[in-house]
Amino acid sequence: MTTTQIQTNKIQLTAETITKVQTRVVEKMVNAIILAGGQGLRIRGETEIPKPLLPLGKETILSKQARWFLSKGFEKIFIVASPEVADGDTKLETENQVQIIVEKERQGTAGAMKLGMENAGEIYYLCNVDDLVQDSIPMKLVEKAEKFGAAILAGKPRLQFGRIYSRGDLVLNFKEKPGLDFWVSCGHYAFNLNKMNGIEIPSQGSLEETVLPKLSKARKLAIEKYRGKWITISNYKDYMELLKAVET
């Protein structure tokens, strides 16, 4: 066998292996939940459009998230949305893989998650509508949830202010919005209900304050460290920066 043949066989084997792994993972985890029920009060001072429906070119924030999931091989996307979001122009009318579940009253992230999981199955991916991690590989998070029970995508944040380094009355150095050396939640999760030790999801309350602490205490919460670009839309300035990036 020639060197060229050996290299060709290696390439074919690698392609076949990747295809098999992708197929296996998608078969196990096909659904995702997007939480889009928040009021977005920090946005309301600038616009009356609900945050999930803010435009990004021809998309909305919500449709951008949903289409990202579809591009990653998820079969169905369940969007838990407030009535004003559900009644608005979501840009998703033609997507038969997307289902909107109306959250009639605010129930918190845990309550919204429970509404979505009734349709999403035993293993599912969940995210906040305003946390975009377009460079991440969601199936890695799913694999960790399959093994441990749940998994959280973590990134390193950036300080929102300029940091001052001083001694006495003098400023020795100044850094604008430096990166911080610790991990925080990116607002993306995966869950495997069969391995969560019976930890229940409440109908009201915060996922971050009720469910995640219990999972971590039971050693059922894994971390997937993400070093790519993470955009979280906390206020109107964040949205305008994202909009500018999309337009350019």
**pLDDT tens digit string along 63-91?**
999 999 999 999 899 999 999 898 887 77
* Two tokens, residue 208: 């971050």
| pLDDT surpasses 50 at 210 | yes
In the chain, % of residues over pLDDT 70: 83
* Two tokens, residue 32: 């995702």
Q: pLDDT class for 57, splitting at 50, 70, 90?
A: confident
Higher pLDDT, 141 or 234: 141
Pairing type for strands 123-128 and 31-36 reads parallel
Higher pLDDT, 69 or 37: 69
In the chain, % of residues over pLDDT 90: 59
Q: pLDDT value at position 40?
A: 57
**CA neighbours closer than 13 Å in the CB half-sphere of residue 212:** 19
Q: pLDDT value at position 12?
A: 47
Lowest mean pLDDT among 17-31, 69-83, 154-168, 190-204: 17-31
Q: Which residue has the tokens 């001052």?
A: 164
Judge whether 149 and 211 are in contact, CB under 8 Å. Answer: no
Q: pLDDT class for 3, splitting at 50, 70, 90?
A: very low
Q: CA–CA separation, 187 vs 81, rounded Å?
A: 16
Mean pLDDT in residue range 195-216: 93
SS3 101: strand
Q: CA–CA separation, 200 vs 8, rounded Å?
A: 51
Q: CA–CA separation, 157 vs 184, rounded Å?
A: 7
Q: pLDDT value at position 25?
A: 44
Q: pLDDT value at position 95?
A: 66
* Continuous H helices in the chain: 3-28, 41-44, 61-71, 83-86, 108-120, 138-148, 212-217, 236-247
Q: pLDDT value at position 47?
A: 74
**pTM summary value:** 0.82
| pLDDT surpasses 60 at 201 | yes
Mean pLDDT in residue range 84-105: 83
Lowest mean pLDDT among 15-29, 135-149, 191-205: 15-29
pLDDT tens-digit readout, 119-178: 888 899 999 999 999 999 999 999 999 999 999 999 999 898 999 999 999 999 999 999
Q: CA–CA separation, 51 vs 48, rounded Å?
A: 9
On average, the pLDDT of the chain sits at 85
| pLDDT surpasses 60 at 206 | yes
